[in-house]
């Protein structure tokens, strides 16, 4: 992460703002087009208004190998309803025009390849997007994306895992911009009753490799887990629990869950300043 890069990173700015408030950042995930594009935008705005600092919008994809059943079911439904990849830019623009949250897109790589990496990046930038989280793209294969993300000032959020070697950790941290996504567990997305102790080690390794902002995802679903992670990471990522919330209770349920999750962010009291 170069100094120049940090000055243009929307994700880093959002995380740093949370840090200045003495807390970790909350990152919420929603799949685009589930149950509809309008609902995704409304839910994204609700996320931002109830305590999320960054929002991660997933592109539904036919072969989501890193996703568990809840997210698979949601994205499969979105695709069955006719979701088109270009609509992700409408979702991003719809949220960024109404909130200050940094909005990233989480996508498997082939839809980006198909549109063209430069074209995708240009449109994401125009929609006000902060960058991309890429679960099946490693820095080794990312030459085209490195170039496009530099050109359009987008964040490159690569993943690191409990299995990452020291060498790979260094390489991935060096290639990332905005933050590094620490996978908490060897597995796919989905709520788990406890957060693996491996998460803390992954974050420590990423910090040791020079990462200034490390956010933890996979398996995080409640305020208690958020509090646990907020003690050692710069941000906490919640996905499946929010998808289940919008599935079962719509935008209102997303707002309520976000509010609850955000109570875990403070490193001191477990409450945000507003609620304290």
Chain contacts with another protein (rule: CB under 8 A): 61-66, 68-69, 72, 76, 79, 84-85, 109-115, 135-138, 140-141, 158-165, 168, 172, 183, 186-188
Kindly give, in sequence order, each residue whose CB lies less than 8 Å from that of residue 257, ignoring residues fewer than 6 positions away.
Answer: 241, 242, 245
Q: What tokens appear for 178 in the block? A: 């905005």
**What CA–CA distances, in Å, run from 90 to 27, 115, 147?**
20, 16, 24
Closer residue to another protein in complex, CB, 130/159:
159
Choosing from 53, 67, 155, 234, the catalytic residue is 67
Shortest reach from residue 254's CB to another protein, in Å:
24
Choosing from 53, 56, 228, 234, the catalytic residue is 56
Shortest reach from residue 198's CB to another protein, in Å:
11
Kindly give, in sequence order, each residue whose CB lies less than 8 Å from that of residue 76, ignoring residues fewer than 6 positions away.
Answer: 60
Shortest reach from residue 23's CB to another protein, in Å:
27
3-state secondary structure 122-171: HHHHHCCCCEEECCCCCHHHCHHHHHHHHHHCCEEECEECCCCCHHHHHH
Active-site residue flag, 126: no
Closer residue to another protein in complex, CB, 203/251:
203
Contact assessment for residue 117 and residue 146, using Cβ atoms and an 8 Å cutoff:
no
Shortest reach from residue 155's CB to another protein, in Å:
17
Closer residue to another protein in complex, CB, 39/76:
76
Q: What are phi and psi of 23, to 5 degrees?
A: -145, 170
Closer residue to another protein in complex, CB, 136/212:
136
Shortest reach from residue 163's CB to another protein, in Å:
4
Contact assessment for residue 224 and residue 264, using Cβ atoms and an 8 Å cutoff:
yes
Active-site residue flag, 56: yes
Closer residue to another protein in complex, CB, 116/249:
116
Active-site residue list: 56, 67
């Amino acid at each position: 992460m170069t100094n120049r890069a940090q000055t243009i990173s929307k994700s880093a700015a959002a995380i740093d703002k949370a840090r200045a408030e003495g807390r970790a950042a909350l990152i919420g995930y929603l799949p685009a087009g589930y149950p509809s594009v309008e609902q995704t935008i409304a839910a994204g705005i609700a996320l931002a208004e109830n305590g999320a600092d960054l929002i991660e919008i997933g592109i539904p994809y036919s072969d989501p190998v890193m996703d568990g059943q809840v997210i698979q079911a949601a994205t499969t439904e979105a695709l069955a309803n006719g979701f088109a990849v270009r609509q992700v830019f409408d979702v991003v623009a719809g949220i960024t025009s109404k909130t200050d949250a940094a909005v990233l897109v989480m996508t498997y790589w082939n839809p980006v390849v198909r549109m063209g990496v430069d074209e995708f990046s240009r449109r994401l930038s125009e929609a006000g997007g902060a960058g991309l989280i890429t679960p099946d793209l490693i820095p080794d294969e990312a030459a085209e994306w490195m170039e496009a993300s530099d050109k359009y000032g987008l964040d490159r959020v690569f993943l690191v895992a409990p299995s990452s070697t020291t060498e790979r950790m260094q390489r991935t941290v060096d290639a990332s911009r905005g933050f590094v996504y620490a996978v908490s567990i060897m597995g796919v997305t989905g709520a788990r009753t406890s957060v693996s102790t491996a998460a803390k080690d992954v974050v420590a390794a990423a910090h040791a490799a020079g990462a200034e902002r490390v956010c933890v995802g996979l398996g995080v679903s409640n305020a208690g887990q958020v509090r646990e992670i907020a003690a050692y990471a710069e941000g906490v990522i919640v996905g499946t629990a929010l998808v289940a919330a919008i599935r079962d209770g719509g935008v209102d349920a997303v707002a309520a869950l976000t509010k609850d999750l955000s109570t875990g962010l403070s490193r001191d009291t477990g409450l945000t300043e507003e609620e304290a």
